[in-house]
């Protein structure tokens, strides 16, 4: 068998792998990307059904990084700039997002319970709690914490809040003053406090369009999975038997997967640490409608636990280019620890409650498509930093650089994943 020699091999043609290849191109270094799918973009990609286009989960750009913005602008000069208007469903009521300072639609009884507990809380001062449940109770008071974010944690993170640490929170959860909470109980006319003021999206081609410039002139082998990496010979082997030798190897594939394909087999403590890295999987339930009778919100969260979907967004509201004329679309996101549900069960526990609540109408539905992603969100349990350091240090020690959301094993948005590749 002949072995081709390559200077740089990149595993995965998602946004981080493309970013790495883009940088190497600029340095006049040759590279080759191996990608298991038939096209590039990874989680930033999309799929089409009967003229409807769906991204792989919600996907907007809200980056403030100028280098990323330049690449995105060059790839997609025509964009929509949406002002975020997310909403929540809680006990069948629509509540503006974030719920904590927009409680107007709730009953007087619940508002009083929330305000009273909010007044009793001990706001975070110098020591930030290292456990998410304590952080939520300290930040919002017990009643709100238990009925909103702690319930949502079970749907989104697939664990109890006390099992999570808190460094990932950053500015992701709004922390209102008591005055804002009280004001939000009196009126629905409150200011937008979502952490991003503008959500950008390509007019044409879905979110993937932002990656166009990155993918131009790249040497990509599609439809071949990397199945083994030999760190001594410096070779990789693919599902189609291709063997390539590298000088430098960059990998964006999930750390536990990469560890499983290494030879020689890593020491037990490395394998143990990689097995302890936790991640949610997710279903995309994509629905095409023949009318425009869908909620007017770009995306919404479902707090009620009788609907197992955690979030819903509308591809047709992101861009009308995502649907045939006169039609609309939604995609529901259901998270899980493994592939836990059958298709029938998923429909019964996500679409059916929305029909029962008259949020969508059965007679408008053209199709329902269900897909599964193995890797959605990295779970920030209390051991994550230790375990990922052990695994990444080991990979570095054998000459493998890991990049991207699942190579850094972090809660990276697309811009951060891109930078992780660009900055190799
Ligand atoms: C639910 C959800 C919502 C999100 N919403 C947003 C958002 O609104 N805005 C935003 O900016 N970001 C968002 N993101 C984050 C964004 O999707 C990621 O940061 C980014 O896509 C990660 O890119 P990556 O290249 O690191 O990984 P990936 O996109 O996972 O790329 C890895 C690539 O490796 C390939 N691969 C895997 N195994 C192998 C193998 N054995 N051989 C060959 N190839 C292989 C995969 O097919 C894939 O193409 C969201 C993510 C999720 C999960």
- Ligand 1 atom at minimum distance from 420 CA: 26
* Residue 291 to residue 406: CA distance in whole angstroms: 38
* Residue 300 to residue 154: CA distance in whole angstroms: 17
Element (H, E) at 113: helix 108-120
Residue 258 Cβ contacting ligand 1 at under 6 Å: no
Helix (H/G/I), strand (E/B), else coil: 231 = coil
pLDDT at 124: 65
Between the CA of 206 and the centroid of ligand 1 the distance, in Å, is: 15
> In the 8-state DSSP scheme, what is residue 403?
-
Can you give the three-state secondary structure of 10-48, one letter per residue?
A: EECCEHHHHHHHHHHHHCCCCEEEECCCCCCEHHHCEEE
* Residue 70 to residue 415: CA distance in whole angstroms: 11
Residues of the chain with pLDDT under 50: none
pLDDT at 127: 77
pLDDT at 1: 59
Which fold does the domain 4-82+204-274+382-422 belong to in CATH? FAD/NAD(P)-binding domain (3.50.50)
Beta strand pairing status for 199-202 and 226-230?
unpaired
pLDDT at 291: 97
* Residue 334 to residue 172: CA distance in whole angstroms: 20
Q: Which residues share a beta bridge with 228?
A: 237
Per-residue pLDDT tens for 261-278? 999 999 999 999 999 999
CA-nearest residue for atom 6, ligand 1, is 59
- Choose one of 13, 43, 336 to mutate for the ligand 1 pocket test, by most ligand atoms within 8 angstroms of C-beta: 43
Between the CA of 414 and the centroid of ligand 1 the distance, in Å, is: 8
- Ligand 1 atom at minimum distance from 13 CA: 49
* Residue 276 to residue 390: CA distance in whole angstroms: 11
Per-residue pLDDT tens for 369-409? 999 999 999 999 999 999 999 999 999 999 999 999 999 99
* Residue 20 to residue 423: CA distance in whole angstroms: 7
Residue 10 Cβ contacting ligand 1 at under 6 Å: no
Compute how many other C-beta atoms are within 10 angstroms of the C-beta atom of residue 382.
14
Compute how many other C-beta atoms are within 10 angstroms of the C-beta atom of residue 74.
13
Could you give the residue range(s) of every CATH 3.50.50.60 domain in the chain?
A: 4-82+204-274+382-422
pLDDT at 125: 66
Find the distance separating the first CA and the last CA of the chain, reported in whole Å.
32
pLDDT at 122: 75
């Amino acid at each position: 068998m002949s072995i081709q020699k390559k200077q740089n091999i990149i595993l995965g043609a998602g946004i981080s792998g493309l970013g790495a290849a883009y940088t190497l191109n600029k340095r006049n270094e040759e590279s080759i990307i191996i990608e298991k799918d038939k096209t590039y973009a990874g989680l930033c990609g999309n799929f089409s059904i009967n003229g409807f286009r769906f991204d792989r989960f919600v996907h907007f750009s809200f980056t403030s990084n100028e280098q990323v913005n330049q690449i995105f602008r060059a790839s997609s000069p025509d964009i929509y700039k949406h002002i975020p208007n997310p909403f929540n469903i809680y006990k069948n009521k629509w509540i503006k997002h974030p719920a904590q300072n927009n409680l107007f639609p709730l009953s007087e009884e619940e508002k009083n319970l929330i305000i009273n507990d909010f007044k009793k809380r001990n706001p975070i001062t110098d020591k930030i709690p290292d456990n998410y449940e304590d952080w939520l109770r300290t930040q919002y008071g017990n009643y709100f914490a238990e009925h909103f974010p702690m319930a949502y944690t079970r749907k989104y993170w697939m664990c109890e809040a006390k099992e999570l640490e808190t460094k990932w929170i950053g500015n992701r959860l709004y922390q209102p003053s008591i005055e804002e909470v009280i004001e939000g109980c009196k009126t629905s006319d409150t200011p937008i406090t979502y952490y991003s003021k503008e959500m950008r999206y390509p007019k044409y081609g879905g979110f993937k369009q932002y990656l166009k410039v990155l993918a131009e002139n790249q040497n990509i082998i599609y439809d071949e999975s990397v199945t083994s990496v030999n760190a001594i010979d410096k070779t990789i082997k693919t599902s189609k038997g291709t063997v390539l030798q590298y000088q430098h190897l960059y990998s964006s594939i999930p750390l536990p997967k990469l560890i499983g394909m290494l030879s020689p087999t890593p020491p037990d403590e490395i394998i143990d640490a990689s097995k302890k890295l936790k991640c949610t999987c997710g279903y995309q339930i994509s629905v095409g409608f023949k009318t425009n009778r869908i909620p007017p919100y770009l995306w919404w969260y479902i707090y009620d636990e009788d609907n197992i979907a955690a979030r819903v967004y509308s591809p047709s509201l992101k861009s009308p280019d995502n649907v045939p004329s006169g039609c609309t679309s939604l995609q529901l996101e259901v998270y899980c620890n493994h592939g836990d549900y059958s298709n029938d069960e998923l429909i019964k526990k996500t679409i059916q409650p929305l029909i029962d609540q008259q949020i969508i109408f059965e007679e408008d539905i053209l199709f329902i498509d269900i897909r599964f992603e193995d890797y959605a969100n990295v779970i920030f349990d209390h051991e994550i930093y230790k375990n990922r350091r052990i695994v990444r240090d080991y990979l570095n020690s054998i000459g493998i650089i890991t990049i991207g959301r699942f190579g850094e094993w972090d809660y990276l948005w697309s811009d951060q994943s891109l930078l992780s590749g660009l900055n190799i």
